[in-house]
Structure 1
Amino acid sequence: MFAAPFHCAAGSKAHTSPLLRATGLVGLCLIAATIMHPATLDAAEIDPSDWDAVLAEAKGQTVYFHAWGGGDRINAYIDWAGDQIKDRYGVTLQHVKVSDTANVVSQIVAEKAAGKDEGGSVDLVWINGENFASLKEKGLLLPMSWAPDLPNYRFADINGKPTLTTDFTVPTDGLESPWGMAQLSFYYDSAVTTDLPKSAAELLDWARAHPGRFAYPKPPDFLGSTFLKQIALELAPDPSVMAEPVTDESYGPVADKLFAYLDALHPHLWRKAQAFPDNVSSLKNLLADSEIEIAFTFNPGDASAAIANNELPDTVRSFTFDGGTIGNSHFVAIPFNANAKAGAMVLADFLLSPEAQARKQDPDIWGDPTVLDLASLGANDRALFDQLDLGIATLKPDELGPTLPEPHSSWMERLEADWTKRYGVQ
């Protein structure tokens, strides 16, 4: 993953490095943001159920959308969304590319500590899991249930997709708006590989038989961390304990199984686990370059999208574990001190629209599964989805197998920390 170069754009400081923060340039940026972007309506004055008023307030605003910037297709999709809301609503979208959402959380925490309760530098953030839990717990999100009042929220598949209202075991309470779905799936080149592991135990056996031909991204990259959770859930003596906040008592048996597994797996990984790919794109490139034979992704449409963009050969296919894989939803949220709250709501609503959701699910564009209930759509909107060719490497929903629930976010923080202590400095 990468971050865009630093610039002192008013209202934005996601580009800052630790060195720049230390030199005080951030303070100058925040002062400039306050002068150039005076505060808009307070949260209490914004009523998302009065959508005409929201649109009127949003017109002319610039929304600083802090979102992962490590995927070209995703970046292009966000650019497209920006063009649409500019033309339709007079709202400007500034994509602040980030490599780790935890840094955005730290940024919001720092602004709160500095007393910056208005005119914040983050208007909307792509978020889920531990980062959402942290902001919610600290009271750093817009203090109102705004998402259910968005006009397009009525199409969200709330009943069929429970992860839209429960984020890593934490109730969303309307504090974030759903954007997309995710479930771990594996892919391989069928011209090279035919024997496929169907469980964590079989993956270890496969790696032993194919040394150097498997890898996973280095935690705390989200995909690498998801791999840890997948293995932990499969091997845990009692997986149900992972749905609750982690304790010393519950952590020990799970961690013992996980790290014993990784100790056995690492000698057989790519470069013998002396190096790890950085992220999902790096992992995909290893398979494209024939350095590994099996890769994985948190988006079941990724492989087909990569084929469509000539990033992977058309012999690539997907598979999953028989016992199921981890799945969740991802969201967008508005911080408590966002400078462009109305504009952020307009962007969040557009991202929920059938038009935007269908384009997002198109493997030629992104391939990210929709959060909508297609049965609730009118004929024209439903046709946008029916005409999609999801691609030759995309598993059908009934082929993905069971969706394993995400553990409580506190588990990830501890597993990542212990992984880094054990393997991170090599």
Structure 2
Amino acid sequence: MVISKRLLTVGLAGICTVALATACGPVSSSDAGDDGTDEGSEGTTTVTVFISGDTNLVDLWEQGIIPAYEEANPDVQVDVTLDLHGEHDQQTVAKLVTATEAGDDPGFDLVDAGFVISSAAEAGTLLEVDPATVSGLATVPENTITAGKGVGIPYRASSVLLAYDSTVIDNPPATLEELLTWIEANPGQFAYNSPSTGGSGGAFVTTVLDSYLTQEEQDGLRVGYDEALQESWTPGFDRLAELGASVYQGGVYPNGNSQVLELLGNGSISMAPVWSDQFITAVETGLISEDVHYAQISDPSFTGSASYLGIPRTADNTEGAIDLVNFVLSPEGQTIIAEQISGYPVIALDELPEDVAAQFADADPSALRPGYYSENNDDMSNLWDQLVP
């Protein structure tokens, strides 16, 4: 991966432990000014964004949001610190906790990561927000804001869907059980990525596990860390292991959401779970044929949710982070998200251009089925690695 002037990859994290988080965690490229605020070159103010996610998320910030924001704010430079695929989230949260307890700047002013509304929120490391402090939240659905636990700032949404080649499949599976039956009846034609490498594969695994759980057990795994409840995953993992012989090449799991899309695009498979935003973008760019359609299953459905930004309580440039967030939640910012990664807008659709509003008329980020609490999700990925391939 090429490292741009904005992008620093967490390369040393693999040799660090949580106890060494403050020494080995992500580092911003900005320098602190004498007055305590971040200053970039030639006296410009710097806002540093920490990103934990896939390459499409990096591209959204690097190629979409940041250039547009900097053009509108020429006295501001936005830098990015990256943890690709979120492989070191626990270390980052540990660093946030340490910085908060010491009253120190954690090295970034804004966080884009799944742990924002789970472990980071529970640890009390993030600034409390509402429409009074972040004006861009004014038209975001209340349920979506509430799901942010008082600190998460929703800025886009998406869901996992079932993509299928319509030239091969006339009637796609409508339920999870029908999907599993189809996979075993059509060996090699279905793929999902290992859950630690991307959320579309994680959603498939979560959905299979949930099919063996009560609603109470599912809810418990979504609201907090519960290792005892994880024992209920055993029959689901057994089912996934049985399924292995029927997936792509008899048990090959792609590395990341993008590789799944590539397999769909070149005809190696005819069905897979995909993120709605990545799939729509892939069709628009020609990576995926228009003959590949999508649907949602039921009993249960695949997961989806809003994604949240968080502002560390002890960040040096809180004011700059809030201003950047308000831009992201503006009609211009939401249009960039919709056009670049096909993310569901979270603000009122009547604030957006008509063509963007029409594209997402049926999207409701407040009604999406959420995934597991961050630490439960990490354990799920680790157990899958041990029990399934």
Bucket of the pairwise TM-score, normalised by the shorter protein: 0.7 to 0.9
**2:10 aligned residue:** 15
Measured in 2, the distance between the counterparts of 1:404 and 1:31 equals: 34
Measured in 2, the distance between the counterparts of 1:405 and 1:111 equals: 24
**2:170 aligned residue:** 194
Measured in 2, the distance between the counterparts of 1:248 and 1:73 equals: 30
Secondary structure of the 2:196 match is: coil
CA pair 34-361 structure 1, distance change in 2 beyond 3 A:
closer
One-letter amino acid of the counterpart of residue 137, structure 1: E
Equivalent position to 2:346, from 352, 368, 371:
371
**1:303 aligned residue:** 279
Equivalent position to 1:126, from 112, 134, 150:
112
Measured in 2, the distance between the counterparts of 1:200 and 1:346 equals: 43
**1:260 aligned residue:** 238
Equivalent position to 2:384, from 411, 419, 422:
419
Contact preservation (8 Å) 2:159, 2:368 = yes
Contact preservation (8 Å) 1:122, 1:338 = yes
State the Cα deviation string for residues 260-292 of structure 1 (Å, max 9, x = none): 21022111011222x311111111001111111
CA pair 178-223 structure 1, distance change in 2 beyond 3 A:
same
One-letter amino acid of the counterpart of residue 420, structure 1: D
**1:329 aligned residue:** 306
Contact preservation (8 Å) 1:188, 1:293 = yes
State the Cα deviation string for residues 207-238 of structure 1 (Å, max 9, x = none): 111111111111223332222211222332x1
Give every structure 1 segment of 4 or more consecutive aligned residues whose post-TM-superposition deviation is greater than 6 Å.
28-35
TM-score in terms of structure 2 length? 0.82
Equivalent position to 1:117, from 82, 85, 103:
103
Contact preservation (8 Å) 2:208, 2:240 = no
Measured in 2, the distance between the counterparts of 1:193 and 1:30 equals: 45
One-letter amino acid of the counterpart of residue 287, structure 1: L
Tell me the number of residue pairs that the alignment of Structure 1 and Structure 2 aligns. 374
Equivalent position to 1:404, from 360, 369, 372:
369
Identical pairs, percent: 18
Contact preservation (8 Å) 1:214, 1:292 = yes
Measured in 1, the distance between the counterparts of 2:15 and 2:371 equals: 36
Equivalent position to 2:155, from 172, 179, 182:
179
Secondary structure of the 1:201 match is: helix
5+ residue gaps in structure 1?
A: 43-58
Tell me how far 1:27 sits from its aligned partner. Answer: 5.2
Mapping of 1:14-413 within 5 angstroms? 14-18=9-13, 36-38=32-34, 40=36, 60-68=44-52, 70-72=54-56, 75-76=59-60, 78-89=62-73, 90-101=75-86, 103-110=88-95, 112-113=97-98, 117-128=103-114, 130=115, 132-142=117-127, 144-145=128-129, 148-158=132-142, 162-167=143-148, 172-173=149-150, 175-221=151-197, 222-236=199-213, 238-244=214-220, 245=224, 247=226, 250-252=229-231, 254-273=232-251, 275-299=252-276, 301-323=277-299, 324-362=301-339, 365-374=340-349, 377=350, 381-382=351-352, 384-386=353-355, 390=359, 396-397=362-363, 403-413=368-378
State the Cα deviation string for residues 376-409 of structure 1 (Å, max 9, x = none): x4xxx34x0445663xxx99449x9x74343444
One-letter amino acid of the counterpart of residue 163, structure 1: T
One-letter amino acid of the counterpart of residue 343, structure 2: D
Measured in 2, the distance between the counterparts of 1:209 and 1:180 equals: 37
Contact preservation (8 Å) 1:303, 1:316 = no
CA pair 337-317 structure 1, distance change in 2 beyond 3 A:
same
CA pair 20-232 structure 1, distance change in 2 beyond 3 A:
closer
- Mean CA deviation greater in 108-117 or 263-272: 108-117
Tell me how far 1:182 sits from its aligned partner. Answer: 1.8
5+ residue gaps in structure 2?
A: none
Measured in 2, the distance between the counterparts of 1:265 and 1:29 equals: 38
State the Cα deviation string for residues 147-183 of structure 1 (Å, max 9, x = none): 652222112122xxx233215xxxx21x121111122
Secondary structure of the 2:104 match is: coil
Tell me how far 1:72 sits from its aligned partner. Answer: 4.7
One-letter amino acid of the counterpart of residue 157, structure 1: P
Measured in 2, the distance between the counterparts of 1:340 and 1:415 equals: 35
Contact preservation (8 Å) 2:195, 2:381 = yes
Measured in 1, the distance between the counterparts of 2:54 and 2:338 equals: 18
Measured in 1, the distance between the counterparts of 2:24 and 2:279 equals: 44
TM-score in terms of structure 1 length? 0.76
CA pair 414-395 structure 1, distance change in 2 beyond 3 A:
farther
RMSD of equivalent CA atoms: 3.5
State the Cα deviation string for residues 337-371 of structure 1 (Å, max 9, x = none): 32322221111111111221123223xx2211011
Contact preservation (8 Å) 2:157, 2:307 = yes
Measured in 2, the distance between the counterparts of 1:38 and 1:14 equals: 27
Measured in 2, the distance between the counterparts of 1:317 and 1:120 equals: 44
**1:54 aligned residue:** none
